[in-house]
Amino acid sequence: MKVTIHLTVNGLAYQEEVEPRRTLLEFIREDLELTGTKEGCGLGECGTCTVLLDGKPIKSCITLAVQANGREVTTIEGIERPDGTLHPLQQAFIDHGAIQCGFCTPGMVLSAKALLDENPKPSELEIKQAIAGNLCRCTGYQKIVEAIRSAAEGS
Amino acid sequence: MADFSIVGTRYGRIDGKDKATGRAKYIQDLKFPGMLYGKILRSPYPHARILNLDTSRVEGLMGVRAVATAGDTPNKKFGSYRSGVKDELIFAKDKALYVGDEIAAVAATDEETAREALSLIRVDYEELPAVFHPEEAIKPEAPRIHEDAEKNIASHALTLRGDPDKGFREADLVLEERFETGLQIHAYLEPVGCIASWDSNGKLTIYAPAQNPSWSRFIYSEALDLPMGKLRVIQTMIGGAFGGKLEQKQYLVAAILARKCRRPVKIVNRRDEEFQTSMPRVPMVVYLKMGVKKDGLLTAKEHRIYADNGAYTKYASAVLNLGTYRVDGLYRLRNIRNENYLVYTNKLPTSAFRGFGNPQITFAVESMLDQLAEGIGMDPLELRLRNAAEEGDLNAHGFKYVSCGLKDCLKKTAEAIDWQEKKKRKNIRRGIGISATSHVCGNRSFFPLFDGATAYARVDEGGKVRVLTGEVEVGQGLLTAYAAICAEEMGIPLSEVTVEAPDTDIAPFGLGTWGDRGTFIGGSGVKLAAADAKRQILEMAAEMLEANPSDLDCREGRVFVKGSPQKSLPFEEVASAAVYRRGGSPVFGKGTFIPASELSDSTRYGNISGTYAFGAQAAEVEVNPETGEVKVVRIAAAHDVGRALNLTTTEGQIEGATVQGMGYALSEEVRYEKGIMLSPNFLHYRIPTALDAPPMKTFLVETTDPGPFGAKGVAEPAMTPTAPAIANAIYDAVGVRIRTLPITPQKILEALQKKG
Amino acid sequence: MKPFQYFEPSTLTEALEILHHYRERARVLAGGTDLVVQMKQAKMIPGAVISLRQLQELNFIEVDSGIRLGPLVTMSQIATHAKFDGRLSILKEAALAVADVQIRNLATVGGNIANASPSADVPPALVALGARLRLRNKNSERVVALEDFCTGPFCTHLERDELLVEIFISPIPEGGGAYAWMPKRTAIDETLVGVGAWVAGEAPENTCRRVCLALSSVAPVPLRAYKAESFLHGKPLNSENFRLAGEIAAEESSPRSRADYRRALVSILTETALERAVRRGGAC
C-alpha cells in the first residue's frame, strides 16, 4: 500500500505516492529522474548517494523515501544558481582538479556544502572528517581538500 | 623551454562542469524505451559439476521476457585477446569453476522480477574438491580445474638473459626471499553495467563504460559468433576503471538476452557482484634472489613467480609475462632468470589493474634492494643511484630508454623527504623509505598488426573542432589532454575544441586506454590530426589572404600572415569558407602515430614501447610499536613525465595512484573461506578514506621525449613504488620487514614480538 | 526489500498499540541506518515497520545532575552537544567513533542500543556511566540497567512489544570518562576494540574511588571488565596501575577473532582511556 509523502526537492514542492520500501535514492533517481545522485554500493558504504536532508548529509540508498516526508531534500542538481552559475564549491572542484571520473563528485560536493554551511572556516582535519564518508578512488583526496579549502577562503 | 599557451598550464577539465553539476550520464543513468532489466545467476560453489539446469518455473512468472542458458549461445570457447588461451564460455556448461561463474540469466520488466526469476531457476550441482592457492593448485594431487591444463598451469615461461649463475658467483652478497601479494580489487565507484540492443538487421550495439571499445569487439565477435561489422560499442562515461573495465562477460550475457527477447536489455552489477566477479590484480608469490657486490653493483637477479590466474584466463598471462620484467631495467640488470607460472585456482579470474604486474614484482625487488643495501652497509638511496638506468640505455630485454629521468626522480624525492637528515637523526617510531619504478607507454605485444593511434580533427563551418579518437577517458583527463593538444597545435582557444567518446561505428579503431599509452600514443595521433586540419585551414586562408600557406600561422583563433600580422582572419571565417567552398565538406584532419616500438621475439626480447616512464616515491611513516598501527606521515613522488600537458591532471593522477598504492600496502585485503569471498563490500574491503590519505608532494620531472609536446605516460607507474616505499619505511622505523601485502598492524606486532 | 506494512503513529500510545498487535512481526524504524541495510540484505524481513518519525517527543537531551536521552537522539546530536564536554567527553568520543557524518546524522542512540551490535561504541560508553533504560509497552513500564540489557550479538532483553523510551543516568557519577578505540583498518571503520572508562579518584593520593570499564568488540556484548575494576579499586590512579589494569582487562576479554592482537589492544586502550578519564575530572 502506498504512502503519500510531501517533500521539497531542490526548492520544488512534491506530493507523491510511494511504496514504503522505496528508498530515497530510488525516489530521486527513478521517480524524479534526477540522476546526478549515484548508486555505488546500495548499502550506505561508499557515499555516492549522499544528498542533504534539511541541510544535513545522509546516505539516500539506506534511507526510505518516507523518512523524507515533510522535509527538504537537496541533490547536486539543486545547488547551482537559477541563472546557471555554479555554486562556488562546484567551481572550486573544477578549478582545483578535484574531479577525475566524476562519480563521487555529486556526493562529495554536497558533503562539503553541508560542512561550509555550518562551519565556514573549517580546518583541514574538519574538512577530511566531513568527507570521510565519501569514498574516492581516483583523486587521492588531496585536490578535493584543496578545492574545499579554497571555496571556504573565497566565501 | 618552448612557449606554449595551453599545454603545460592548469586549464580546467572540459567535462568538469557536467560532472560537477550531475549532468554527466553514466550507464546506470541511461534508459531506453522498452528496455528490460537483466540479472545473472551465478554459481554458489567454487568447483562443481552442473548436472541439471531447469528454467521451467521461470517462464510462467509475470514480467519475465527472456531466460538464457548455455543452449542459447554458440558455446564456442573464447579468451582474452592474445592470451593464447581460450578457456571461457558465456555460460558455464559442464562445470562451474568459481563462486560467481555465470550459469544463466533472465530479463524482466523490472529488477525485482528479474531477481525473483533467478530464484526460480533450479540447478543441481555436484560439488567437487576445489583449490584456492597457486602453490597448492600446482601440486600433482590438486584437483584439475581445466581438463587440458596439467597441474593447473595456464602458462609457463622462462626468460634468460646473460649469465645469472655467473652473476651470483661474482656477488659478495646473495639474498633469497619469498614475497606474497594478494588480490586487489579495483573498487572503482561506478559499478559495471551495459545496455545491449540488436537492430532489425542483426547488428548488436553495446552501450558500456568500456576501456577498449574497438578491440573488445574481437572477443565479443568470437564469443557471439558475430562478424565484427555487426558489432558496435558505444563508450559511456566511465566512473573509474584502472584496468577493470576491459572486456566483460556481462555484456555478452546482456547481448544474448536482448537477442532472445528482441528488446534492449540493461544489466548493472550490484556491488557485491562487483567484488565477487570483477577481475582483480593478479596475486603473486615471488621467490626472489638477487646478488650484489660490496661496491654496490647489482650482479644478478632471479625470480620464480606463482601467479594466481583464478578460474579463467583474462589478462593475467600478459600481466605475468610482460608486466613483471619492467622492473629489470631499473637497475641495469644484465643477468636475469625469470620463471613464471600462471596457475588456475577456483577463484575469480584475475586480470589487469593499474601497474599490470609491476606493483607486485616491484614490491619484491624494491624490498630486497633495501635488504641488500643493509647487507653491504650502503645507504639504500646510494645503492639505487649506483645502479640506476640512464637515458640512452638499452636494457637486457631490449627496451630503448630514449628519455629517462630516473636519477632525477630519486634525488628529488629523497630531498623532499629530508633523506640525509632523517637518516642521521633516528626517531624510534618514524622511518623513511624509497622506491623507484619504470613502466611502458603502450605495448607493442598486444596487437601485432599495429601499435599506435589514429585521430580525426573535424572542423565545422562554425569553426568548432571535434576530435574523434578511439582512445578512452576513464577519468584521467584524457579528453581534456587531447583537446589541449589539438587547440595548442591549431592555435585556437581550448573552448573551441570538443573530444568525442568513441562510438566504434564512427571513431577510428583505437586500442584503448591501458598500458599507460593514452597520452603518448593517442595524444600523438591527435597532434598529427590537428596539424593536418591546420594545414587545410591555412591552405584556404592562403586563398583568402592572397598569401603563401607557408607564410601563414594561427594563434589565439586568428590566422595571420607571419611578418604582417595585421593581415589576418578569424579562424571561424576561414573554416566556414573552407566548408562552403568545398561542397559542404568539413575540414577533416587525419593523423596516425606509430611509435618506434617493435614486436618482441619468442623470448620476449624487443623494444615494445616507444618510450618508457620512470618515477620514484619516498614515504615517511610513523609506527606505533605497541599496536602495530602505521600512519603514513607524508609521501613525496617524482615522476618523469616527459612534459606535463596539464599540471593539475598530472598531479591528480600521481596523487590518486599513490593513495591506491597505500591501500594496496596497508589496508586492502580480500578474505576467502572455502572459495567464498567473505564480506564482498566496502565495509570490509577498505580503500583509503580522506582521513587516511597522507599529504603528498608531487614533482614532475621533465625530460626530452618523443611524445606529443614531449609528454609520456604517468597514470600507471605512479601506483607501483608506493607499497615498497612504505614497506621500506616501516623497516626503517621499527626494524621489521613484512614480505606479504597488505602490511597490517597485526603482522607488524607479531614480527616485533618475534624480534623480541 | 520485501514489501511491508508501514505505520507512522502520531502518539506514543498509538505506537505501543501497533507494536503490541504486531509483536515479533514488527520492527521499529528510527534512523534506519541499521534496519534499512538489514532489510536490503534480507537479514530482516519484517511484516510491519513502525516509524517513530512523528514522535519527536522522543528526541530530547537533558543534562543536569543526571542525563536523560530520548531514543531518537542522533549520534550527531550527541557528538556536538555542548554539555558532552570535559568529563562527559566520553559520550562525544563514542558518538564520533560511529561510522561517518552521514550515518551519524540519522543513526539514533535508541536504534544503536536496540540493534546490539557487539562492535557498537555508544552502549559501552553509556555502560561506563551506569546508564539505565526505560522500556515501555502498551500496559506497563520497566527499568533495566544497560549493562544487563544485551544478551548476545544482536540480541537484547527487549520484548517484542516494548519500546525503548528513555536512556538515563541518574545521577552523573563523580569523576570523568573517556572512550578510546581502534578502527579495524582505515580511519573510518568498524571498531576493532573500544574501551569506555569512567573513573573517580579520592584524596590524598588520588586513589581510585570508583571505576567502570566497558569494552566494545571483544565479547558478544559490551563487556564490563570487573576484574580490572576490582584491581584498580583503592589503588593510586597512576600509569603503572593503568597498565596493570589494562593487562587484566585483556585477560577478561574473549574476542571471537584475532584474539591475541585484540587483547593487546585492550591492554593499551584501557591504559589510554583511564589516563584521559583521570585528566578530565577523574582526579581529586
Q: Which residue has the higher pLDDT, C156 or B522?
A: C156
Same domain, A92 and A118: yes
Interface of C with A (CB under 8 A): 1-6, 8, 29, 32-33, 36-37, 39-41, 49, 51, 53, 76, 99-103, 105-106, 187-188
pLDDT mean across residues, chain C:
95
Omega before C220 within 30 of 0, i.e. cis: no
* Residue from the list B188, B271, B691 with its beta carbon closest to the beta carbon of A128: B691
**Average confidence score pLDDT of chain A:** 97
- Compare all CA atoms of chain A with the CA of C35 and give the residue at the minimum distance: A62
pLDDT score of B1: 38
Return d(Cα B744, Cα B631) in angstroms, integer: 11
- Which backbone phi and psi does C39 adopt, to 5 degrees? -70, -40
pLDDT value at residue C203 = 83
Is B271 within 8 Å of B683 (Cβ atoms)?
no
Which chains form contacts with chain A, at 3 or more CB pairs under 8 Å?
B, C
User: How much is the average pLDDT of B651-669?
Assistant: 96
Take residue B756 and report the three cell numbers written for it: 623480541
Q: DSSP secondary-structure letter at A65?
A: G
Helical residues (DSSP H) of B146-265, grouped into ranges: 164-170, 213-224, 249-261
Residue B613 in this model has a pLDDT that exceeds 70: yes
Question: Is residue B643 a part of any domain in this protein?
Answer: yes
DSSP 8-state code for residue B351: B
CB atoms C261 and B745 under 8 Å = yes
**Chain B: nearest CA to A15, how far in angstroms?**
23
Secondary-structure breakdown of chain A: helix, strand, coil percentages, each rounded to the nearest 5? 40, 15, 45
Does A112 map to a domain?
Answer: yes
Q: Residue A83: inside a domain, yes or no?
A: no
A64 and A107, same structural domain?
Answer: no
Same domain, A64 and A101: no
In a domain, A17, yes or no: yes
The model's confidence at residue B449, banded by pLDDT at 50, 70 and 90, is confident
The Cα of C38 is separated from the nearest Cα of chain A by a number of Å equal to 9
Q: Which residue has the higher pLDDT, A142 or B75?
A: A142
Q: Is A60 on the interface with B (CB under 8 A)?
A: no
Chain-chain contact of C187 with A19 (C-beta, under 8 angstroms) = no
In a shared domain, residues B260 and B289: no
Segments forming the whole domain that contains residue A105: 88-154
Helix, strand or coil, per DSSP, at residue B306: strand
Interface contact flag, C261 B746, Cβ < 8 Å: yes
Cis? peptide before B742, omega within 30° of 0: yes
Whether residue B562 is contained in a domain is answered as: yes
State the distance between the two ends of chain C, measured CA to CA, in whole angstroms.
55
Q: State pLDDT tens for residues B709-727.
A: 777 777 778 999 999 999 9
Question: Is the CB of residue B673 less than 8 Å away from at least one CB of chain C?
Answer: no
Portion of chain C with pLDDT greater than 90, in percent: 93
- Single out the residue of B269, B10, B697 nearest to residue A41, CA to CA: B269
Q: What is the CATH number of the domain that holds B351?
A: 3.30.365.10
* Residue B62 near chain C (CB below 8 Å): no
Task: State the Cα torsion B375-B378-B380-B384 to the nearest 10°.
Answer: -110
DSSP class per residue in C225-237? -HHHHHHHTTSB-
Q: Does A57 lie in the same domain as A13?
A: yes
Q: Best interface-test mutation with C: which of B629, B670, B746 has the largest number of C CBs within 10 A?
A: B746
SS3 B626: coil
For the cut 60, the answer to whether the pLDDT of residue B377 exceeds it is yes
A151 touches chain B (CB under 8 A): no
| Domain stops at, among B569, B593, B617 | B593
CB contact under 8 A, C268 and B749: no
Domain identity same for B505 and B608: no
- Give residues with Cβ within 8 angstroms of B611, minimum separation 6: B402, B403, B441, B520, B595, B642, B705, B706, B707, B712
Q: Where would I find the beta strands (DSSP E) of B142-192?
A: 153-161, 173-181
C182 contacts B627? CB cut-off 8 A: yes
Final residue in a domain of this structure, among A59, A78, A97: A78
Task: Encode pLDDT of C154-181 as tens digits.
Answer: 999 999 999 999 999 999 999 999 999 9
How many whole angstroms separate alpha carbon B80 and alpha carbon C177?
A: 60
The answer to the question of residue B312 being in a domain is yes
Domain boundary among B228, B260, B277: B277
> Residues of chain C whose C-beta is under 8 A from some C-beta in B?
182, 184-190, 258, 261, 264-265, 268
User: What angle in degrees, to the nearest 10, is found between the helix axes of A142-154 and A88-95?
Assistant: 140
List chain A residues with CB under 8 Å of C100: 47, 132-133
One domain, residues B576 and B686: no
Q: Is the dihedral of CA A68, A70, A76, A77 positive or negative?
A: positive
A63 and A103 in a single domain? The answer is no
Q: What is the pLDDT of residues A86-140, one digit of tens each?
A: 999 999 999 999 999 999 999 999 999 999 999 999 999 999 999 999 999 999 9
Q: How many CB atoms lie within 10 A of CB B556?
A: 10
Cα-Cα end-to-end distance for chain B: 56
Q: How many domains does chain B have?
A: 3
Q: What is the DSSP letter of B450?
A: -
Report yes or no: A20 at the B interface, CB cutoff 8 Å. Answer: no
At B292, the pLDDT band (50, 70, 90 cuts) reads very high
Task: Dump the DSSP string for C115-126.
Answer: HT-TT-SHHHHH
Domain limit, last residue, from A29, A44, A78: A78
Residues of chain A contacting C37 with CB distance shorter than 8 Å? 43-44, 62
Predicted local confidence at residue B525, as pLDDT: 92
- In whole numbers, what is the pLDDT of chain B averaged over residues? 93
End-to-end CA distance of chain A, in Å?
47
CB B279 within 8 A of CB B317: no
| Any domain includes B325 | yes
In a domain, residue B181? The reply is: no
CATH of the domain at A95: 1.10.150.120
Residues of chain A with Cβ-Cβ distance to B12 below 8 Å are 94-95
Vertex A149 angle, CA A148 and A154, to 5°: 100
Examine the fold and report which residue of A34, A56, A78 is the final residue of a domain before the chain moves on.
Answer: A78
pLDDT above 60: residue B2: no
Which residues fall within 8 angstroms of residue B724, CB to CB, at 6 or more apart? B362, B363, B365, B366, B367, B433, B435
C-alpha cell at B269: 552489477
Note whether B195 and B30 are within 8 A (CB): yes
Contact B81, B218 (CB under 8 A): yes
DSSP track, B234-265: EEPBPS--TT--SS-HHHHHHHHHHHHHTS-E
Chains that touch B (3 or more CB pairs under 8 A): A, C
Beta bridge partners of B660: none
Q: For residues C68 and C174, is the Cβ–Cβ distance under 8 A?
A: no
How many C-beta atoms surround the C-beta of residue B573 within 10 A?
16
Is A74 found in the same domain as A7?
yes
- Residue found by looking up cell 562443481 in the block: B48
Averaged pLDDT for residues C66-91: 97
* Alpha-carbon distances of C25 from B270, C22, C44, C48, C58, rounded to whole Å: 28, 5, 10, 6, 23
Smallest CA–CA distance from C29 into chain A, residue: A67
pLDDT of residue C283: 62
Of B133, B288, B181, B368, the residue nearest B743 (C-alpha): B181
Collect all residues of chain C within an 8 Å Cβ-Cβ radius of residue B669: 185
Q: Which three cell numbers stand for residue B41?
A: 545467476
> C34-46: per-residue pLDDT in tens?
999 999 999 999 9
Taking CB atoms and an 8 Å limit, are A43 and C103 in contact across chains?
no
Q: What's the pLDDT band for B599 if we cut at 50, 70, 90?
A: confident
Per-residue pLDDT at B84: 76
Q: What is the dihedral of CA B251, B254, B255, B259, to 10 degrees?
A: 180
Please tell me whether residues B607 and B730 are part of one structural domain.
yes
Please answer yes or no on whether B689 and C184 come within 8 Å at the CB atom: no
Q: Determine the pLDDT at residue C20.
A: 95
- Check which CATH number belongs to the domain holding B39 and give it: 3.90.1170.50
- Average pLDDT value for residue range B581-603: 87
A99 touches chain B (CB under 8 A): yes
CA distances from B643 to B4, B278, B697 (A): 12, 34, 18
Contact status of B110 with chain A (Cβ, < 8 Å): no
- In terms of domains, do B637 and B736 share one? yes
Domain boundary at B277, B298, B323, which?
A: B277
Q: How many contiguous H segments (helices) and E segments (strands) does chain A have?
A: 5, 5
Q: Has residue B202 been placed in a domain?
A: yes
For B662-720, list the strands marked E by DSSP.
Answer: 672-673, 676-677, 696-702
pLDDT of amino acid B143: 98
Co-location of A12 and A66 in the same domain? yes
**Is residue B459 pLDDT above 90, yes or no?**
yes
**Domain membership flag for residue A106:** yes
Domain identity same for B571 and B436: no
Residues B212, A70: Cα–Cα separation, whole Å: 47
Q: Could you tell me which residues are beta bridge partners of residue B642?
A: B702
Note the pLDDT of residue B12: 82
Mean pLDDT of C9-28: 96
> Is the CB of residue B591 less than 8 Å from the CB of residue B384?
no
Give Cα C258 to chain centroid, integer Å.
Answer: 23
Q: Mean pLDDT throughout B89-102? A: 96
User: B551 pLDDT exceeds 50?
Assistant: yes
One domain for residues B729 and B641: yes
**Geometric angle at alpha carbon B694, from B690 and B700, rounded to 5°:** 115
Tell me: do A100 and A55 sit in the same domain.
no
Type of residue at B110: D
B713 plus B674 within the same structural domain: yes
Query: Do B289 and B194 reside in the same domain of the chain?
Result: no
CA B292, CA B95: separation in Å to the nearest integer?
49
Phi, psi (deg, nearest 5) at residue C265: -70, -35
Phi, psi of B580 (to 5 degrees): -70, -35
Query: What is the residue-wise DSSP string for B408-429?
Result: HHHHHHHHHTTHHHHHHS--TT
Higher pLDDT, residue A143 or B80: A143
- With an 8 Å Cβ cutoff, is B722 touching chain A? no
Closest Cα partner for B164 from B260, B300, B255?
A: B300
Measure the CA–CA gap between B112 and B107, rounded to whole angstroms: 11
Instruction: Supply the DSSP symbol for B21.
Output: H
Check whether residue B692 and residue B648 sit in a common domain: yes
pLDDT over threshold 50, residue C247? yes
User: B691 vs C187: CB contact, 8 Å cut-off?
Assistant: yes
Chain C partners within 8 Å of B689 (Cβ): 186-188
Distance CA B260, CA B58 (A): 15
Same domain membership, residue A94 and residue A57: no
- How many domains does one find in chain A? 2
Count of CB pairs separated by less than 8 Å, A with C: 78
Residues B77, B208, single domain; the answer is yes
Query: Which range marks the domain in which residue B221 is found?
Result: 31-128+190-239+245-277
Assess if residue B364 is contained within a domain.
Answer: yes
Burial class (CB in 10 A: 0-12, 13-18, 19+), B415: middle
Residue A74 included in any domain: yes
Domain CATH for A24: 3.10.20.30
Task: Find cell 542458458 and name the residue.
Answer: B69
**Which positions ≥6 away from B481 have C-beta within 8 Å?**
B518, B519, B523, B645, B646, B649, B711
Mean pLDDT over B614-632 rounds to 95
pLDDT digits (tens, 9 = 90+) for B199-246: 999 999 999 999 999 989 999 999 999 999 999 999 999 999 999 999
> Which residues does chain A have within 8 Å of residue B280's beta carbon, measured at their own beta carbons?
none
Average pLDDT over residues C5-18: 97
What value does the mean pLDDT take over residues C144-161? 95
Distance from CA of A137 to the nearest CA of B (A): 6
- In the structure grid, which three cell numbers stand for residue B64, read together? 519475465
Q: Is residue B180 part of a domain?
A: no
C-beta of residue B716 within 8 angstroms of C-beta of residue B639: no
Strands B204-208 and B193-198, how do they pair?
A: antiparallel
Distance CA B189, CA A42 (A): 11
Residue B386 pLDDT: 97
Looking at the structure, do residues B496 and B383 belong to the same domain, yes or no?
A: no
Across the interface, of B689, B745, B750, the residue whose CB is closest to C188 is B689
Query: Same structural domain for residues A113 and A74?
Result: no
